[in-house]
Amino acid sequence: MRVSPSYAVFTVTFAAVFSLVYVLAVEKNWALFSYAPATGTFAPLTTPAAAGPTMYWYGWIATAAIVAGAVAAVASLLPERLAKFVWPGFAWAVPVAVLIAFGYLLSGYFLR
């Protein structure tokens, strides 16, 4: 089975961009929406809850997925002669680098 070059570019680009945008969304708190589990309500952007804690994780995932999908869709339109320069290793190398970045960001929780 042969995978089309545009599909390969889309998947590699999506994996790399999703990882990068997700770490930025967590660091800068760019949540598309917030969820308050105590009241069971969703609110736009980073709205604090009236009672109990607020969850931003779902909003970070949505933000990263939308941005990565848009960037990957544009990247999949590259001509085939340019698509061959998209290294498939980005699909695993960038997420591994993001895991290391998260380890650094969360080191304060583990090194007290």
Q: Identify the pLDDT of residue 23.
A: 93
Q: Identify the pLDDT of residue 30.
A: 92
Q: How many domains does the chain have?
A: 1
Q: Identify the pLDDT of residue 59.
A: 93
Distance CA 29, CA 47 (A): 11
Computed on alpha carbons and rounded to an integer, the radius of gyration of the chain in Å comes to 17
Range of the domain at 13: 5-110
Residues 6+ apart with CB under 8 A from 97: 19
For the record, the structure tokens of 73 come out as 């869709």
Q: Identify the pLDDT of residue 1.
A: 61
pLDDT average per 10 residues of sequence, the chain (112 residues): 79 95 92 87 80 88 96 91 84 92 85 72
Q: Identify the pLDDT of residue 13.
A: 94
Nearest to 22 by CA among 73, 53, 56: 56
Q: Identify the pLDDT of residue 12.
A: 93
Q: Identify the pLDDT of residue 41.
A: 82
